[in-house]
Each structure stands twice: as structure tokens, then as C-alpha cells.
């Protein structure tokens, strides 16, 4: 199985399965001299870990990362950084009764068609468990970006048909669904609880922003900043849509409404608005890069569903008692979106060093 790596210079390769002994990531291309310790990585992992609220999977994983290489006396050496995260609460027994069935909304069918074999224990490589590796790598990327005063933030903008236009970082930290608006957070909880009572699930939209970016990051034609962000976000399990700036609302605007006019202040040229979302021609403008990622409803639901077995025989699919799943996968994906954005920008930052002589 190929395609387990992401990035050009700041490159990551993830490994491991949902119910294997461990998962992890190898980071290649991180510059030497970056201060780094496991506490920073584990702080980020705690944001993604299951069980932090009643609206996430009850699986108990401490997600305690261990740096195995590439760091000496608290600093990166320039060598590959290998990070391992043990799987301590794996329970593949719950998947035994359904291992021969095509799970609706899951990758069993496509993996079997492609490889002829599928790790039914929680989905193996197709599981969202793999995203812990991305968050660990993203923690390293964030430390690199902080050296350049670049910040990445994400939050839950929408669950089901409930959405917010408000942002308060204090509310974000207190919300069980990662929403920065108290009233909307409560409404999200209500619709989520209703879906859970029905044995169903909901999807969501996560908004991210990248601030502090200099103008000039991103490489046309095929390494555009937003193109790499789109690929990064759509590589996250359960994603179904990506937009930047005005996104899919842009076609309803006139050019005169959508264009960001320029002005000059203190000898610096900048756009006066940011409808483009922080890029032009695939290159950063210096404005915040703002985008949104759509997540489908969680595929694992308690309701019985029609399916077939691996031989094509009609069957009913029902999750075994005690199965552990998120009613809305987007909630725990907020730090994953942040991490993938950080990885893209870290890579673009390093690539930009070769753009011109001075």
C-alpha cells in the first residue's frame, strides 16, 4: 500500500492500524535546532483524543507520544523524527461478528476491490485513528511556524443544520463540541443528542484560519497553496468538501463584489478585503488564509442497515452491543484540520526558501 506520505520538504509518513500495537509518524525535512519535547506533542494529542466529552467515542486512549529519534537534548537534529503512539484500548472483538459484511459508508468494499484484503479491526488504515499521527506531526509543524509568528486555528462552524458566525476563544475552550459560540454550542448539543437518541449521526463543517503568513507562499501551477490545503483536508477521513474564501458562495457574487481591491499603507501594498481567502494565483497575499472543510455524518450508527456479505448475499448490518463510535466525527477533527493546515504551511515555508536568490 503506497501513498502514506504527505509533503515535499517537510514530509510526513504515517504508519500503523486502528487496533494494532501502535501507530506513529516519521517526519523528514524538519530543520535542525527547533526546540521540541513530548509535552508539546501530547498537549496537541489530548485535543483529539477520544472520551473528552459525551459526544465523542468512549474509547480510552491516552495518546501518549514517544519521540524515538531526531531530537537530542530537546532540539531537533535534522535527522528523521520518529514518533510512536501505543494503542492501549484496542478491542477488535467487537468487529468479529461483522467482519464478513460490507459496512455501509465504510471502506471495506473499496479496500477489498483494490487489495483483496481488508483489516476489519476498526478499519485498519482507513480508520480515523490514523489522524492521531497527523496531530503529532502537526504539533512539530506548529512549533516551526511559531518561530515565524504564524498561527493556525480551527473551530466547529456547523453541526447538522446549526451553524455560527460568532467567535470567542474562551467559549471554544469550554464547548463540548469545539464551537466558539455558547448559544450555538448548546443548539448543536441539542440536535446531536436528538440524533443519538435515534441511533443516528450528524456531519459538520470546520472553519480554519492561518494568520501571520507572509505574502509569497505557494508555488504555481500544481503546488498552489490552496490546492495543497484542499488535498490535505480531503485526505482526512470522512471529508466531503473544501472551500477557501467565499468558496461556493462566490458564484452568486459579481466580480465587482468579489474582487479584493488593493491599497497602500506605510509603504506596504495589501488587499483591502479578503474575499479570496488569503491567496491569489495560488500564492499567499499576506491576509489570513480562511477556509472550511465539510465532514459527512459518522458512518457507524446504531440503526439497522441493508447490506451484503463479501459473497454478495443480502444481509442486515447492525453494530454489535458495546461498539464505540463518535456521533459526529467532525468534533474530534478540529485539531486534525489545524494540524494538516500547519503541515501544508510548514512545507510551503521551507519550499519558499528556494524561490529566488534574494
CA atoms within 13 A on the CB side of 288: 13
CA distance 58 to 60: 6
- Whole-number Å distance between alpha carbons of 89 and 91: 6
Domain boundaries, the chain: 5-354
* Domain spanning 5-354, CATH class: alpha beta
| Residues 118, 133: Cα–Cα separation, whole Å | 21
- The three three-digit cell numbers of residue 79, written as one number: 535527522
Answer whether 347's CB lies under 8 Å from 9's CB: yes
144 by Cβ neighbours in 10 Å (0-12 / 13-18 / 19+) ranks as: buried
Q: Which residues of 13-41 are buried (b: 16+ CB within 10 A; e: fewer)?
A: bbbbbbbbeebbbbbbbbeeebebebebb
How many CB atoms are closer than 10 A to CB 150? 21
pLDDT along the chain (358 residues), means of 10: 94 94 97 95 92 71 91 97 90 85 94 93 90 98 98 98 92 92 96 96 98 97 97 98 98 98 93 97 98 97 95 94 86 97 98 90
Element housing 204 (H / E): strand 204-211
Amino acid at each position: 500500500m503506497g501513498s502514506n506520505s504527505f509533503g515535499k520538504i517537510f514530509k510526513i509518513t504515517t504508519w500503523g492500524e486502528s487496533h494494532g500495537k501502535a501507530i506513529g509518524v516519521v517526519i523528514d525535512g524538519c530543520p535542525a535546532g527547533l526546540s521540541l519535547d513530548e509535552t508539546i506533542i501530547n498537549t496537541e494529542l489530548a485535543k483529539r483524543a477520544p472520551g473528552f466529552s459525551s459526544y465523542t467515542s468512549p474509547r480510552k486512549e491516552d495518546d501518549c507520544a514517544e519521540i524515538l529519534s531526531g531530537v537530542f537534548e530537546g532540539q531537533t537534529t535534522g535527522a528523521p523524527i520518529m514518533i510512536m503512539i501505543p494503542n492501549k484500548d484496542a478491542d477488535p472483538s467487537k468487529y468479529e461478528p461483522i467482519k464478513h459484511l460490507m459496512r455501509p459508508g465504510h471502506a471495506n468494499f473499496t479496500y477489498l476491490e483494490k487489495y483483496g484484503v481488508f483489516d476489519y479491526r476498526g478499519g485498519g488504515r482507513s480508520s480515523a485513528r490514523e489522524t492521531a499521527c497527523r496531530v503529532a506531526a502537526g504539533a512539530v509543524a506548529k512549533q516551526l511556524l511559531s518561530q515565524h509568528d504564524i498561527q493556525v486555528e480551527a473551530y466547529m462552524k456547523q453541526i447538522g443544520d446549526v451553524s455560527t458566525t460568532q467567535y470567542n476563544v474562551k467559549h471554544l475552550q469550554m464547548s463540548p463540541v469545539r464551537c466558539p459560540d455558547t448559544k450555538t454550542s448548546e443548539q448543536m448539543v441539542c440536535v446531536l443528542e436528538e440524533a443519538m437518541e435515534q441511533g443516528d449521526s450528524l456531519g459538520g463543517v470546520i472553519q480554519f484560519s492561518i494568520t501571520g503568513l507572509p505574502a509569497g507562499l505557494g508555488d504555481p501551477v500544481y503546488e498552489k497553496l490552496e490546492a495543497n490545503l484542499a488535498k490535505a483536508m480531503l485526505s482526512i477521513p470522512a471529508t466531503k468538501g473544501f472551500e477557501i474564501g467565499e468558496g461556493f458562495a462566490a458564484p452568486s457574487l459579481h466580480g465587482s463584489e468579489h474582487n479584493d481591491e488593493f491599497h497602500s499603507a506605510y509603504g506596504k501594498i495589501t488587499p483591502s478585503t479578503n474575499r479570496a481567502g488569503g491567496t491569489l494565483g495560488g500564492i499567499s497575499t499576506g491576509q489570513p488564509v480562511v477556509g472550511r472543510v465539510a465532514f459527512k455524518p459518522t458512518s457507524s450508527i446504531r440503526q439497522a442497515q441493508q447490506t451484503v456479505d463479501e459473497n454478495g448475499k443480502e444481509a442486515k448490518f447492525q453494530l454489535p452491543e458495546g461498539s464505540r463510535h463518535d456521533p459526529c466525527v467532525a468534533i474530534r477533527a478540529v485539531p486534525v484540520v489545524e494540524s494538516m493546515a500547519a503541515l501544508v504551511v510548514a512545507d510551503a515555508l521551507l519550499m519558499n526558501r528556494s524561490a529566488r536568490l534574494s
